[in-house]
Amino acid sequence: MKKGLRLENINKHFGETQALRDVSLEIHPGEFFTLLGPSGCGKTTLLRIIAGLEFPDTGKTLLGGSDITSLPASKRPVNTVFQSYALFPHLSVFENVAFGLRSRKFPDHEVNRRVKRRLEMLDLEGMETRLPNQLSGGQRQRVALARALVNEPQALLLDEPMSALDAKLRARVQVELRRLQKKLGQTFIMVTHDQNEALTVSDRIAVMRGGRIIQFGPPEHVYDNPISKFVAEFLGAANLIYGKAVNGGLLTDIGFFRLKENPPWSRGAVAIRPEWVRIRDHEPEKNGVRGTVKEVIYRGAYFDILLEPGPLRVRTDTYRRVKVGDQLWLELLPEEFAILND
């Protein structure tokens, strides 16, 4: 099997602050991998180290089995889509896309052929002679993509590629980006602070905080089984329930909940997603809570409901009409709890 990208014990300081702490990571060929985290978590620094725009203090970068740790950006077979796209404002769309090929002294006919093909693929035919400031935001992003992909990089790096697009376009482009990556079968490594985006496009995500990777895995796995409060809350809404571990369950202020396994601590927290909390007509056999509706937020496709005790957050389809003051039975199934280890 072809070897992917491997980071070994990467450390990086900027002056006093440590941007990355002992980060190790393996990214498989053909994978859409996302580095997710709040600003300042080190995700962009990590991407820049992969790109060769920044060098680690200690640690190794391996690509396809060979050590590229000290190779400058201009010598690495990876290309970047920058956050602001960084298109050359004085060069036409064609010349922007051709830039990498011309740097590597490809003959003209070869440049033409490859650029044409990429422009076609990204729906940019007829734009060849336009300058970047004559394009829309979406078109600019596609030029940036074409400019990177035309070099057939071993890994395509995307630094917050959606941040310059409006929300509606963003949702569409995420799906298109995912499709494109599947079609090409190329390794994409993306940085984002938007958990929705990460969940939508990725094969695997790594959640970062304070210069460390704190959890990684397939999006649905990380979403359903967050290992810490931070991951649970960063990846979407979560009910955090604190309590004491008592033979096979958790004793809390709002009742006793059976868990799928014994927690590794005596006092701690579990998390359950609002959409996994079931509303029942009758008292369930176990793990039931009787709650009073305090607030109902209408979201169009669903309701967000806040209940006492708790407050517990519940998400429910709108076919069930709920009003403030209603008394509801809730069931929190053992297998829906994620046991947090902090």
Q: Which residues are at the interface with other proteins (CB under 8 A)?
A: 51-53, 72-75, 79-80, 82, 84, 86-91, 99-100, 103-104, 131, 133-134, 147, 151
Residue that the structure tokens 């006092």 belong to: 267
Q: What are the Cα distances from residue 5, in Å, to 26, 77, 78?
A: 6, 11, 11
Supply the DSSP string of 12-64, one letter for each residue: EEETTEEEEEEEEEEE-TT-EEEEE--TTSSHHHHHHHHHTSS--SEEEEEET
Q: Which is nearer to other proteins, 10 or 144 (CB)?
A: 144
Q: Could you tell me the smallest distance in angstroms from the CB atom of residue 260 to other proteins?
A: 47
Q: Which is nearer to other proteins, 192 or 239 (CB)?
A: 192
Q: Could you tell me the smallest distance in angstroms from the CB atom of residue 82 to other proteins?
A: 6
Q: Which of 183, 278, 274, 173 is nearest to 232 (CA)?
A: 274
Q: Which is nearer to other proteins, 80 or 287 (CB)?
A: 80
**How many whole angstroms separate alpha carbon 122 and alpha carbon 139?**
9
Q: Which amino acid would we find at residue 282?
A: H
Whether 92 contacts 128, CB under 8 Å: yes
Q: Which is nearer to other proteins, 59 or 132 (CB)?
A: 132
Q: Which is nearer to other proteins, 97 or 227 (CB)?
A: 97
Q: Could you tell me the smallest distance in angstroms from the CB atom of residue 159 to other proteins?
A: 10
Q: Could you tell me the smallest distance in angstroms from the CB atom of residue 107 to other proteins?
A: 16
Q: Could you tell me the smallest distance in angstroms from the CB atom of residue 255 to other proteins?
A: 54
What is the phi/psi pair of residue 74, to 5°?
A: -70, -10
